[in-house]
Amino acid sequence: MALPVEEWRGIAARRWAALKPALRKRLATASLGEALRVGCGLLGPEEAALQRLCRRARTGKEPAAARFYREEGNRQFGRCRYRDAVRLYSQAAAHEPPCSPDVALCFANRSAALFHLGHFEVCLEDIARAQSHGYPDRLLPKVLLRKAECLLRLGRLQDATDTLTAVENKMAIDGIMTSPIHLTLLKKLSQLKTEIHEKESCPEPAREAHGDIQRESEIWEENGSISGASSSLSLNFNTERGRHLVASQDILPGQDLLKEKAFVSVLCPGEGDSLLLQDSSETVWDAQVTNADLYCHRCLTQLLASVPCCGCSYAKYCSQNCADVAWEQYHRTECPLGALLLTLGVFCHVALRTVLLAGFSEVSRLVEWSHDDDNKDLRNAEVGGKHPSEAPDTRAGTKGIPGCNDNGQYQSSYQAVFNLLPHVEKHSPEHKFLCMLSVVAICKKLQETGLEAAALNRESSAMGSEQKTYEKTSDELSPELMIMAEAMLRHVLQLQCNAQAITVMQELESGDGAVVNKKPVRLATAFFPVLSLLNHSCSPNISVSFSGTAATVRASQPIPSGQEIFHCYGPHRCRMRVAERQQLLSQYFFECRCQACLDELESDVESVSMRNSFCCPSCQASMQGEDMLCCSNAACGLSVSRGRLSQRLLDLQQQIKKAVELLRDGKADEAIKMLLKCQMDARNFLSPEHLLMGELEDHLAQVYATLGKWQEAARHLERSIQLVEMHHGPSSVEMGHELFKLAQILFNGFAVSEALSTIQRAEEILSVHCGPQSTQIQELQEMKTCLLELPRSILQRT
């Protein structure tokens, strides 16, 4: 997903292998600009193949898709599944041409579903949208009545009355009203009138302002030299560790350390992106949901009633404002390139958006600066804490630190992004070649489709007049595009080490919503220049959480003054053993020497692998060996290939998936049977501490919760929690989420004292990781208040 699709990677690899050795050698050692000058001529023969690959990505507006989604939406609406209906109407709207009666119908239908969900304000927005997109006149009364009802529910009585008057006039103008539909409308009309009248005569007490209680926010003193960082951090630089952040005073767990908005972020298509990359020979639309359906293309907030882009079917926004800003900043260039960007992967997409956001003048200023030989020391100065050998000696103070401006300030700016390490010499030549061809393909497309002017923030008329025009079919790129290409190539290479995933806890669809089940999902890939200053440790001392495109870093443990702040790039000591971690970290071009790695390498205690291992299918003793596993019980002596047990594990996971689907379809009894069977099977070949055993308990808890069997649910969840604690540690964020679930179950089951103590534990952990303002903490506090206000009679019963 981060990299181009497999087929394009294959084409690039074959092309690379077929190049003359001298050319390969030249490319391998060339600077980025030089490589691009050579590379421009090498794309030609592969362009047709790339175009074919792009045809599989469905990013345009397709009437057939619109029809499919609208009909599917109607079907769900008929089954009272309004949430699904809203989503499907949104998908339909994204495929309809803007300002057509069809798109207006989508919005009108969606407004009906929103009405049923009680989202009256959003419903009103959709009605207005339907009207502005040319909703058919003859259907207007029905929608206007809905509008009046919304206004009524919102307590805007005068507006409701005015709307009703408009409906009456409209119906009068339309002539005799004898059709059944008109008669029902008339009935509704008089009903609403009575309701308004009643409300007017006995006004409701003014409602309390809800949920907006301004909490005392933590005292936040911003750092003078690092934007977004707390004053308890300082930016240091030395030959051994490169740029890094250090505590300049004692830090408490849960303390905010950094708040940074992504310089750039691109929504990942997500797991469900098969829809976008299926074979076009047989188009089968399905109702699968992708990240693009759930989150705003620009600001990543969760979508309810999305605003579609007027040019493509994949960009959906939370509001017209987001749509307009995105269009202005980058989407007018990206919109026609959707299929190409999906094919070339998220890193290429981030690279393009980075240069579009930075603007041509800033891009060319920094590219030229990087060509200047005098800056060579500075360019190589950052070592990222991993390559002591090449780091030059540097003077003290932030002034000489790469990425800092003339005042010695490090800001979340394009200059800071540009100064992240691209590791040009460390990537394999094949990889650089693939990235280079991909970047050239994007720039060629910009030139061909006349998007160059937009990409360079220029009026197209001003461009063509004085400059040499580059033929659409030319192998050459204009000098301006060459500069953009060079910056983009640099960014693609930087991303391998500096891409930051934006993750959120996504609510899983489940039975009835009594217990909210969430799992972490990768939402977007981004550049955070300040966050990037943190070096990696497999045992980090911070926790990062995201809200939209903003990251908040909190201390997850006490950090004494002088200690370095460590972020975990992915391989955490709780999840992987040291060999796996080192393997994963090799993509960042360094060997981890964190305390956890040093300890494990010395002691060769493989605690994690022990926990997530197979056991003997015959006697359940532990198994030993690599590819061929042997039972440790000499009397048994069974041996099985690892591959076979791995396959069995995969099959089991499939079964569990099916059970979860059963639950989703409301077949809880069947789901329980299936899960219990899976559990028996799992016990036969997985160690009791295997994470999957915990997962099974977790699912069982979920099923019992939907049945209202709270005690059983709690019992299963407690077992799952034991395993989570073992794998992730007692104060991990994973532990916090599990305790949150347990609190909900105990709450629902009126197990008051247990619920209160669980809420307490969950609160302690989650406030450190997610902050006191997070929705989860607020929900916990609501539960607590509710429990404490229960009548004494209930409290005594428990």
Among 33, 272, 311, 570, binds Zn ion (CB under 5 A): 311
Shortest separation between residue 756's beta carbon and Zn ion, angstroms: 38
For residues 679, 684, 687 and 693, what is the CA-based torsion angle, rounded to 10 degrees?
Answer: -10
Q: Quick check: 660 binds Zn ion (CB under 5 A)?
A: no
Distances (CA, A) of 134 to 64, 137, 138, 140: 21, 8, 11, 10
Judged by CB under 5 A, the chain residues 318 through 337 that form the site for Zn ion are 318, 322, 335
Rounded CA separation 554/544 (Å): 6
CB distance 619 to 633 below 8 Å: yes
Shortest separation between residue 635's beta carbon and Zn ion, angstroms: 8
Among 154, 636, 649, 756, binds Zn ion (CB under 5 A): 636
For residues 92, 96, 102 and 106, what is the CA-based torsion angle, rounded to 10 degrees?
Answer: 30
Q: Quick check: 770 binds Zn ion (CB under 5 A)?
A: no
| Angle subtended at Cα 715 by Cα 712 and Cα 717, rounded to the nearest 5 degrees | 110
Rounded CA separation 524/350 (Å): 10
Distances (CA, A) of 224 to 221, 258, 408, 535, 576: 9, 13, 10, 21, 38
Q: Which is nearer to Zn ion, 126 or 697 (CB)?
A: 126
Q: Which is nearer to Zn ion, 321 or 773 (CB)?
A: 321
Q: Which is nearer to Zn ion, 102 or 738 (CB)?
A: 102
344: nearest Cα among 417, 286, 289, 266: 266
Count of residues engaged in binding Zn ion, rule: CB under 5 A = 22
Q: Quick check: 303 binds Zn ion (CB under 5 A)?
A: no
Stretch that binds Zn ion, among 48-56, 272-280, 290-298, 500-508 (CB under 5 A): 290-298
Q: Quick check: 652 binds Zn ion (CB under 5 A)?
A: no
Q: Which residues contact 599 (CB under 8 A, 6 or more apart)?
A: none
Which residue bears the tokens 């053993």? 577
Stretch that binds Zn ion, among 30-38, 286-294, 433-441, 633-641 (CB under 5 A): 633-641
CB distance 751 to 714 below 8 Å: yes
Q: Which is nearer to Zn ion, 613 or 655 (CB)?
A: 613
Stretch that binds Zn ion, among 18-26, 224-232, 293-301, 382-390 (CB under 5 A): 293-301
Among 616, 691, 705, 714, binds Zn ion (CB under 5 A): 616
Environment class of residue 425 by beta-carbon count within 10 Å: exposed (0-12), middle (13-18) or buried (19+)? exposed
Among 267, 309, 608, 700, binds Zn ion (CB under 5 A): 309
Shortest separation between residue 597's beta carbon and Zn ion, angstroms: 3
Shortest separation between residue 618's beta carbon and Zn ion, angstroms: 4
CB distance 240 to 590 below 8 Å: no
Among 172, 601, 619, 794, binds Zn ion (CB under 5 A): 619
Rounded CA separation 629/523 (Å): 38
269: nearest Cα among 471, 522, 32, 88: 522
Q: Quick check: 502 binds Zn ion (CB under 5 A)?
A: no
Shortest separation between residue 49's beta carbon and Zn ion, angstroms: 25
Among 140, 196, 276, 299, binds Zn ion (CB under 5 A): 299
Q: Quick check: 11 binds Zn ion (CB under 5 A)?
A: no
Q: Which is nearer to Zn ion, 185 or 638 (CB)?
A: 638
Q: Which is nearer to Zn ion, 51 or 633 (CB)?
A: 633
Judged by CB under 5 A, the chain residues 518 through 547 that form the site for Zn ion are 538
Among 54, 307, 312, 765, binds Zn ion (CB under 5 A): 312
Q: Quick check: 124 binds Zn ion (CB under 5 A)?
A: no
Q: Which is nearer to Zn ion, 302 or 361 (CB)?
A: 302
Q: Which is nearer to Zn ion, 236 or 633 (CB)?
A: 633
Q: Which is nearer to Zn ion, 296 or 437 (CB)?
A: 296
Q: What is the DSSP string of 65-120?
A: HHHHHHHHHHHHHHTT-HHHHHHHHHHHHHHSPTTSHHHHHHHHHHHHHHHHTT-H
Among 234, 236, 557, 618, binds Zn ion (CB under 5 A): 618
Judged by CB under 5 A, the chain residues 556 through 595 that form the site for Zn ion are 592, 594
Q: Phi and psi for 568 in degrees, rounded to 5?
A: -105, 120
Stretch that binds Zn ion, among 269-277, 376-384, 625-633, 754-762 (CB under 5 A): 625-633
CB distance 247 to 559 below 8 Å: yes
Q: Quick check: 401 binds Zn ion (CB under 5 A)?
A: no
Rounded CA separation 401/395 (Å): 9
Shortest separation between residue 386's beta carbon and Zn ion, angstroms: 12
For residues 747, 748, 752 and 753, what is the CA-based torsion angle, rounded to 10 degrees?
Answer: -50
Q: Which is nearer to Zn ion, 30 or 578 (CB)?
A: 578
Q: Which is nearer to Zn ion, 294 or 335 (CB)?
A: 335
For residues 535, 257, 547 and 524, what is the CA-based torsion angle, rounded to 10 degrees?
Answer: -10
Stretch that binds Zn ion, among 359-367, 442-450, 617-625, 742-750 (CB under 5 A): 617-625
Pairing status of strand 264-267 against strand 307-308: unpaired
Rounded CA separation 207/319 (Å): 27
Among 11, 296, 481, 766, binds Zn ion (CB under 5 A): 296
Shortest separation between residue 524's beta carbon and Zn ion, angstroms: 12
Q: Which is nearer to Zn ion, 534 or 594 (CB)?
A: 594
- Helices H, strands E: what count in the chain? 34, 15
Q: Which is nearer to Zn ion, 60 or 400 (CB)?
A: 60
Return residues touching Zn ion (CB under 5 A): 296, 298-299, 309, 311-312, 315, 318, 322, 335, 538, 592, 594, 597, 616, 618-619, 621, 631, 633, 636, 638
